[in-house]
Copies of this chain bind each other. A is one copy, B any other.
Amino acid sequence: MAALLRRSKNLFKQWNNHVDISLGPCRSMASKVQVGFIGLGNMGKPMAKNLLNNGYPLIATDIFPESCKELQGLGAQILDSPAEVAENVDRIITMLPSSPNVIDVYTGPNGILRKVRKGSLLIDSSTIDPSVSKEMAAAAEKMGAVFMDAPVSGGVGAASSGKLTFMVGGAKEEFAAAKELLSCMGSNVVYCGQVGTGQSAKICNNMLLAIGMIGTAETMNLGIRLGLDPKLLAKILNMSSGRCWSSDTYNPVPGVMEGVPSANNYQGGFGTTLMAKDLGLAQNTASNTKTPIPLGSLAHQIYRMMCARGYASKDFSSVFQFLREEESGQ
């Protein structure tokens, strides 16, 4: 029956697309099917709001009751556990901090898979180990459900404005249905391949990002000590082969750019501890696949040292500050 529901829903979507194409994939005056949402943290809450704003009735849950209240005020129905959510919908999005949480929310005693409807589409936007994504997919398949991994790039700001990028892994024939929902929360929804490849793409990007950021911080610091003006050096790098996102979009040196964490004492942005977590995932997948990642490993260790030295909650571009000589007297 769930499969039937899904089929009718898809027909419905086609009709929507037909009459309402100018409003984009998420807009429709017609009523929409209920969606479950589990994990209402800093990222999950604005994502859930965007689903509500796009007309999707929401059934949500979170271990922190206070996180649920705000969504309830906006019209979401709140239930007590993932299992109860799973009983009531056939599309669920999860957004959780780490692998153990995902394992618990899917396979724990009150987990989704205890009560999942056959034919349900389960989309996990957490950033976790791809091997856990594969395990969850296998467990879901046994229950007749479909699991996809769809981690995001972009922070709280992008989550609020619906401008996230989703990297999606899983059965290709389910991608259209996943994209319909994800498009309400993001501006880019990229299909990456089989289950786990969304996580893999995310992890790869963040590893290269970390390397580029530390490299930029080292380079800018060296150049400044050699007598170069930091703005001029950034300009030269950005017109040359040293150019990277960290040099041209998110420069870690205070005074070089505006509107980035380095212009605000490294407040906001993407915390060093989160980067260290993602690099831990990269290291794990590399160890498991016996892939050498010398710079990625060292980047992991540097962010780990920073966490040990008081930088855990600063933006990851604060590596510039970490490498720089301390002021006298310290």
The residues of A with any CB-CB pair to B shorter than 8 Å are 130, 153, 165, 167, 188, 190, 192-194, 196-197, 200-201, 203-209, 211-212, 214-216, 218-223, 225-229, 232-233, 236-237, 239-247, 249-250, 276, 280, 282-287, 289-302, 304-305, 307-310, 322-326, 330
Contacts and interface: CB of A to CB of B under 8 A. Distances in A.
Contacts of A289: 222, 225-226
A244 B153 CA distance: 17
Contacts of A214: 211, 294-295
A242 B208 contact: yes
A323 B305 contact: yes
Contact of A297 (B220, B250, B285, B300): B300
A5 B285 CA distance: 46
Contacts of A218: 207-208, 211, 291-296
A265 B304 CA distance: 24
Contacts of A219: 204-205, 207-208, 211, 293, 296
A154 to B, nearest CB: 9
Most buried by B among A205, A292, A296, A299: A292
A309 B194 CA distance: 30
Contact of A243 (B245, B287, B290, B323): B245
Nearest to A325: B308
B301 A242 contact: no
B196 A227 contact: yes
Given A209-B240, A212-B242, 19 more contacts: A165-B239, A201-B228, A201-B233, A204-B226, A208-B216, A219-B293, A222-B285, A222-B293, A240-B245, A280-B287, A290-B307, A292-B323, A294-B298, A294-B323, A295-B302, A305-B305, A309-B322, A309-B326, A310-B326
Contacts of A240: 153, 165, 205, 209, 245
B295 A209 contact: no
Contact of A298 (B200, B222, B297, B304): B297
Nearest to A296: B218
B307 A301 contact: no
B308 A232 contact: no
A322 B308 CA distance: 8
Contacts of A325: 290, 308
Contacts of A294: 214, 218, 298, 301-302, 305, 323
18 contacts: A130-B226, A153-B240, A193-B229, A205-B240, A207-B215, A207-B242, A208-B242, A208-B247, A212-B242, A218-B293, A221-B291, A222-B293, A225-B289, A241-B246, A292-B304, A295-B299, A305-B323, A310-B330
